[in-house]
């Protein structure tokens, strides 16, 4: 499976600011997440060992070890993983999690675990075909790599409560993956749709979300972020007024969702 990189990736302002060290760790992180299908999550211990900041060079009959140093004026220090990770966190390229890091907007540009599994299933189906049928199927898959076969698409039904959540969640990446996460969360005690919508609306007022740092919906559901404590500075309405507003909006969204059963 391939990692996607825009040909202007190297020139993105955030990448320019983190420099070649940050760029290297970001690419290594993308490769790790794609290889192990983590949907953009990198465990804490793994993040520190993705790359080595020391290297060896052969000189005559021995190898000499080198480290990378950085300096500013008279001050200098040896590069470590913690230093480079901090660069990525500062620019919002990575997001800190309780037990690791999440690559920001991963699902917007890379395939999710669910999408990779679907692609494997398609390829396995094509592999069982023969001759011209196999050739036509491969050609169609290459032409529309993200599309499901028409009959499979028709079988995907999005429940009303999920559509209500989807309509208010600002990051629209990976709808099918989010649906699977929604079903899993419901089995594990997902709160009512009214409480989920209220949590989303409250988090929209947080400083982090206003700055554009919104998790992809699959991650938000898998990690139970509806229980997050909100950090904000701009909401001044009383809790009673806010709750009434959320409830009214929730009812309107539920009515609208009943008209949408499939994409």
Do 82 and 58 lie in a common domain? yes
Check: CB of residue 103 under 8 Å from CB of residue 94: yes
Residue 189 lies inside a defined structural domain of this protein: yes
Residue 52 lies inside a defined structural domain of this protein: yes
The residue among 153, 181, 216 that closes a domain is 153
Do 49 and 86 lie in a common domain? yes
If you ran DSSP here, which 8-state letter would residue 237 be given? S
Do 58 and 148 lie in a common domain? no
31 contacts: CB under 8 Å, gap ≥ 6: 3
C-alpha span between 157 and 154 (Å, rounded): 8
Q: How many CB atoms lie within 10 A of CB 188?
A: 7
Q: Please give the residue range of the domain that contains residue 25.
A: 9-109
Do 48 and 132 lie in a common domain? no
Do 19 and 47 lie in a common domain? yes
Supply the DSSP string of 86-114, one letter for each residue.
HHHHHTTSEEEETTEEEETTHHHHS--HH
Burial of 10 (0-12, 13-18, 19+ CB in 10 A): exposed
Query: What is the reported pTM?
Result: 0.50
Residue 262 lies inside a defined structural domain of this protein: no
Residue 240 lies inside a defined structural domain of this protein: yes
In the prediction, which pLDDT does 62 show? 85
In the prediction, which pLDDT does 22 show? 94
Check: CB of residue 169 under 8 Å from CB of residue 200: yes
Residue 79 lies inside a defined structural domain of this protein: yes
For Cα atoms 23, 28, 34, give the angle at the middle one, nearest 5 degrees: 125
In the prediction, which pLDDT does 237 show? 46
Do 26 and 41 lie in a common domain? yes
Token readout for 47 is 């993040």
- Domain total for the chain? 3
The residue among 74, 109, 144 that closes a domain is 109
Residue 4 lies inside a defined structural domain of this protein: no
Do 145 and 177 lie in a common domain? no
In the prediction, which pLDDT does 235 show? 44
Q: Chunked in runs of 10, what are the mean pLDDT values of the chain (263 residues)?
A: 87 92 96 93 95 83 83 77 93 91 90 86 74 62 48 66 92 87 91 93 87 87 88 48 54 56 49
Do 149 and 162 lie in a common domain? no
C-alpha span between 174 and 109 (Å, rounded): 10
Do 71 and 29 lie in a common domain? yes
Residue 160 lies inside a defined structural domain of this protein: yes
Residue 34 lies inside a defined structural domain of this protein: yes
Token readout for 154 is 């028709």
Do 131 and 190 lie in a common domain? no
User: Helix or strand or coil: residue 57?
Assistant: strand
Dihedral sign for Cα atoms in the order 85, 14, 204, 257: negative
In the prediction, which pLDDT does 258 show? 59
Do 161 and 245 lie in a common domain? yes
Do 161 and 118 lie in a common domain? no
């Amino acid at each position: 499976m391939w990692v996607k990189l825009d040909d202007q990736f190297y020139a993105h302002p955030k990448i320019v600011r983190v420099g070649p060290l940050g760029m290297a760790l970001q690419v290594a992180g993308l490769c790790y997440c794609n290889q192990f299908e983590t949907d953009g999550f990198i465990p804490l211990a793994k993040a520190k060992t993705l790359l080595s900041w020391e290297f060896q060079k052969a000189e005559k009959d021995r190898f000499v070890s080198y480290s990378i140093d950085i300096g500013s004026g008279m001050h200098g220090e040896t590069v470590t993983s913690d230093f480079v990770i901090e660069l990525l966190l500062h620019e919002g390229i990575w997001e800190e999690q309780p037990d690791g890091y999440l690559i920001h907007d991963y699902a917007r540009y890379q395939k999710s675990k669910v999408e990779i599994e679907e692609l494997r299933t398609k390829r396995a189906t094509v592999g069982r075909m023969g001759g011209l049928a196999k050739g036509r199927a491969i050609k169609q898959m290459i032409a529309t790599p993200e599309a499901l076969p028409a009959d499979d698409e028709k079988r995907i039904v999005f429940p009303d409560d999920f559509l209500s959540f989807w309509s208010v969640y600002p990051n629209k990446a990976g709808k099918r993956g989010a649906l699977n996460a929604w079903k899993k969360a419901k089995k594990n005690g997902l709160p009512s749709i009214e409480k989920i919508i209220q949590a989303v609306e409250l988090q929209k007022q947080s400083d982090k979300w206003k700055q554009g740092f919104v998790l992809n919906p699959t991650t938000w559901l898998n990690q139970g972020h509806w229980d997050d404590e909100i950090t904000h500075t701009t909401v001044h309405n009383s809790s009673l007024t806010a709750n009434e507003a959320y409830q009214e909006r929730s009812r309107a969204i539920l009515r609208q969702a009943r008209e949408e059963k499939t994409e």
